[in-house]
Amino acid sequence: MIRNIRLLTMLAALLVTTFLVVAHNAEARVGGGGSMGSRGSRSYSRPVAPPSQMAPSRPSTPYQPSPSAPYQQPSRGLFGGGFGGSFLGSMAGGMLGGMLFRSMGFGGGYGGGYGGGGGIGIFEILLLAGIGYLIYRFVKRSRADEGSYGQQGPGKVIQINDYQNQNPGLSYAPERNELEEGLSYIRQMDPSFDERRFNDNVMDMFFKIQGAFMNRDLSSASGVLSEEMRGLLQRDVDTLLRDKKINRLENIAVRSVEISEAWQESGKDFITALVYANLLDYTTDDTTGAVLSGSKTEPVKFEEYWTFTRPVGNNQWRLCAINQK
């Protein structure tokens, strides 16, 4: 059994490794078409969509049950209602009636103690104990249900986002005011911050980083890369130099940049923007010039979340993470 588990684990690891290698070879631009870097406390959550790509919002008026028709709790007796209650009730009644019938001497059966006489035997006692336990569990669950129903009285206003707020692990797009709130915090420490100017700055940094990566020299882009991102990209550059490959990026065009998240933590500003771009992305042999992967004629369109950070205030933004949409 243990050997089989080990074999399955090794097979799964091999499949994952193969997938990662194929994905990395398929796209050779910055990040290799994968996710990398750190987004602070949000590193383990997916970036949310920008406001323009959110699902249509529901009516803002919260739902409130009508006071004239309050919720009626279903009646529950000792054995409850519905199929479960009727089943337990009929089973318990049948068993009790049968034991009473036998105890009065109207038949032997499988109970009646060891001597086969009247009265309640061990089998009946075990049955009664089992029925009692089932009744206890059912009543306990019914009371718990009643408690949960009771919390939604006529005065309880159910907000649309209650479920999402109670389940923070779910990925959902925040409301526009949450994004505006994050941007307002950034403006408080940097009154010169402008959203449109930031988007233009993202385009400039995008071209600078892609060009440095293609030249296999990150020195020209070191000022717009976080320390972690520079280390990750330098590792990819070293691999290209070792394998004598060149990542060719041509006809780069950024179609749009839109901010999707903004927040502050640990004395730093963070902004995540969705970058929609297209380019010719292919890899050639450094010696022969032969195309090893990608295409020189078919442009690649992609959308990626680029996250930038800086110390709070009017400081230089630096790329700290790339996430696939």
**Per-residue confidence (pLDDT) for residue 27, from 0 to 100:** 62
In sequence order, the β-bridge partners of residue 293 are 283
- Picking from 280, 229, 228, 290, the residue whose alpha carbon sits closest to that of residue 250 is 280
Q: Does domain 170-324 have CATH number 3.10.450.240?
A: yes
C-alpha distances in angstroms, 119 versus 96, 110, 114? 12, 11, 11
Q: Give the pLDDT confidence of 44-96 residue by residue, as tens digits.
A: 999 999 998 876 544 444 445 445 444 444 444 444 444 444 445 555 555 55
Q: Residue 125's pLDDT band (boundaries 50, 70, 90)?
A: confident
Query: What is the rounded average pLDDT of the residues 224-243?
Result: 96
Whether the CB-CB separation of 215 and 247 falls below 8 Å is answered with no
Q: Residue 32's pLDDT band (boundaries 50, 70, 90)?
A: confident
Q: What is the mean pLDDT of the chain?
A: 74
Give percent of the chain above pLDDT 70. Answer: 57
Which one-letter DSSP state was computed for residue 223? G
C-alpha distances in angstroms, 82 versus 41, 75, 77? 48, 10, 11
The tokens of 254 are what?
């950024």
Task: Let me know if 44 is exposed, middle or buried by CB neighbors in 10 A (0-12, 13-18, 19+).
Answer: exposed
Whether the CB-CB separation of 223 and 266 falls below 8 Å is answered with no
Please indicate, yes or no, whether the overall pTM of this predicted structure exceeds 0.75.
Answer: no
**Per-residue confidence (pLDDT) for residue 134, from 0 to 100:** 75
Pick from 18-32, 69-83, 91-105, 212-226: least confident: 69-83
Q: Where are the domains of the chain?
A: 82-150, 170-324
How many residues would you count in the chain? 325
Q: Give the pLDDT confidence of 138-180 residue by residue, as tens digits.
A: 666 655 554 444 444 443 333 334 434 455 544 444 555 889 9
**Per-residue confidence (pLDDT) for residue 23, from 0 to 100:** 38
**At residue 31, what is the residue type?**
G
- Picking from 313, 314, 245, 308, the residue whose alpha carbon sits closest to that of residue 40 is 308
**Per-residue confidence (pLDDT) for residue 80, from 0 to 100:** 46
